[in-house]
């Protein structure tokens, strides 16, 4: 696949998904704390979102950043517009603006502060304690 | 490795009227709060771009992460 094809696919994905997150890893297994935090905020607002892992091919990130003029990952888009990276999403989450922008009600049980994305919570495996 | 002061000075030199507070635990991960009149009327995305553009090519490299909070004055 050429770089142009990759860029076209990214542009198409941004256009076709109301909320789309480009991240390192997957929502189930985020590979970076900033991606994990952003996923955590979307999940605590119960927002359905598409997620694209940028790690499998370095050209995904290269073409995404060229398209969005935004150097870092994660990147959250809504209705084709870049909302921002983890810092902006965090600020908007805490002010309630994120829910408003995404057109959802903040669930009553959503934490007021952005979930910190403690890596321990997202660890896919637990280590068996053989010392007891 | 850039120090917190290096990052602060570069932000303040690049954005007229900016005041930056920069912290770093390890000179690789940075956290900056930037206030500037130049941010007036810009979206958060545009404000962040102004700051990140200063470190083009360094983000993800010598500056592993730059946590940003921007505010128009």
The answer to the question of residue A25 being in a domain is yes
* Mean predicted confidence (pLDDT) in A67-75: 95
Structural domain count of chain B: 1
The band of A131, judged by pLDDT with boundaries at 50, 70 and 90, is low
For A47, A54, A95, A104, A116, the CA distances from A100, given in Å and listed in that order, are 11, 27, 10, 6, 21
The answer to the question of residue A110 being in a domain is no
Domain span holding position B22:
4-72
Supply the CATH number for residue A64's domain.
Answer: 3.40.30.10
Summarize pLDDT for B22-57 with one digit per residue, the tens.
999 999 999 999 999 999 999 999 999 999 999 988
Supply the CATH number for residue B54's domain.
Answer: 3.30.300.90
The answer to the question of residue A125 being in a domain is no
CB-CB under 8 Å, B60 with A72 = yes
The answer to the question of residue A23 being in a domain is yes
Structural domain count of chain A: 1
The answer to the question of residue A118 being in a domain is no
Q: Is B64 on the interface with A (CB under 8 A)?
A: no
Q: Is B48 on the interface with A (CB under 8 A)?
A: yes
Q: Is B59 on the interface with A (CB under 8 A)?
A: yes
- How many residues does the structure list for chain B? 73
Q: DSSP E strands: which ranges in A8-49?
A: 19-23
Domain span holding position A27:
3-105
Q: Give the closest-approach CA distance of B17 to chain A in angstroms.
A: 22
Q: Sheet of B19-23: strands edge to edge?
A: B19-23, B29-36, B65-72
């Amino acid at each position: 696949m050429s770089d142009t094809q990759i860029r076209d696919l990214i542009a198409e994905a941004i256009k076709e998904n109301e909320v789309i997150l480009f991240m390192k890893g997957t929502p189930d297994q985020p590979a970076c704390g900033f991606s994990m935090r952003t996923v955590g905020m979307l999940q605590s607002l119960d927002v359905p979102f598409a997620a694209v892992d940028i790690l499998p091919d370095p050209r995904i990130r290269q073409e995404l950043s060229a398209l969005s003029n935004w150097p870092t990952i994660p990147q959250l888009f809504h209705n084709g517009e870049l909302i921002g990276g983890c810092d902006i999403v965090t600020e908007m989450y805490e002010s309630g603006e994120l829910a408003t922008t995404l057109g959802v009600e903040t669930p009553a049980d959503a934490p007021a502060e952005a979930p910190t994305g403690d890596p321990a919570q997202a660890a896919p495996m637990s280590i068996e304690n053989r010392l007891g | 490795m850039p120090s917190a002061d290096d990052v602060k000075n570069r932000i303040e030199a690049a954005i007229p009227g900016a005041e930056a507070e920069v912290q770093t635990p390890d000179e690789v991960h940075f956290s900056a709060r930037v206030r500037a009149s130049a941010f007036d009327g810009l979206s958060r995305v545009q404000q962040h771009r102004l700051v990140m553009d200063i470190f083009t090519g360094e983000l993800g490299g010598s500056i592993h992460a730059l946590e940003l909070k921007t505010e128009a004055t």
